[in-house]
Amino acid sequence: MVAALWKATLISGLLSVALGVAALVWPGKTLLVTAIIFGAYLLVSGIAQVAFAFALHVSTGSRVLMFISGAASIVLAFLAFRHFGEGYAILLLAIWIGVGFIFRGVATTGTAIGDPELPGRGWNIFFGIVTLLAGIVMLASPILSIVTLTYVVGVWLVVIGAFEIGSAIGMRKDAKG
């Protein structure tokens, strides 16, 4: 079992380093691939939401929200696919991430402020505010932010991969010893 574990960890580490280096060397291509996956995600999730709007037994308000959200996702997917060469899909991806950060930041901060018994309440408020600010920065400068995020993720993947490779080597030594 340990032999399989160290090998899997080594492969994971090598893949992480390779993906991180690719993101650092080819940030534009990395963003394009991510944007294509993002467009496909929007299309599939949009179709599912529209289908659920008609299939699930939920309130009328929930049904309408699901339908609107699904339809908007489908429209965004088609816009992303139609305008790939113009960087439009990357812009949509950056905006989507920014809006997601804002929603998460507001929800996390609001929950932490509203619940005085929440464990780690101060850290949750701090995290929520930082996430909210990150979303505002993403929306204020979406292209620069998404490129910067690509570099940060690239570096992070290389670091994680290096630690996984080190861990795999340590596991292998322990298994032999």
pLDDT in tens, 23-55: 899 988 888 787 778 778 888 888 988 998 888
Q: Which residue blocks in 26-87 are alpha helix, DSSP H?
A: 27-55, 60-82
Residue 114 has pLDDT above 80, yes or no: yes
Q: What is the predicted pLDDT for the residue at 146?
A: 85
109 contacts 153 by C-beta, under 8 angstroms: no
Q: State the total domains in the chain.
A: 1
pLDDT of residue 126: 95
Read off the amino acid at residue 154: G
Largest CA-CA distance found in the chain, in angstroms, rounded? 64
Does the pTM of the predicted model rise above 0.75? no
Question: Which residues span the domain enclosing 45?
Answer: 2-176
CA quadruple 26, 28, 30, 33: dihedral positive or negative? negative
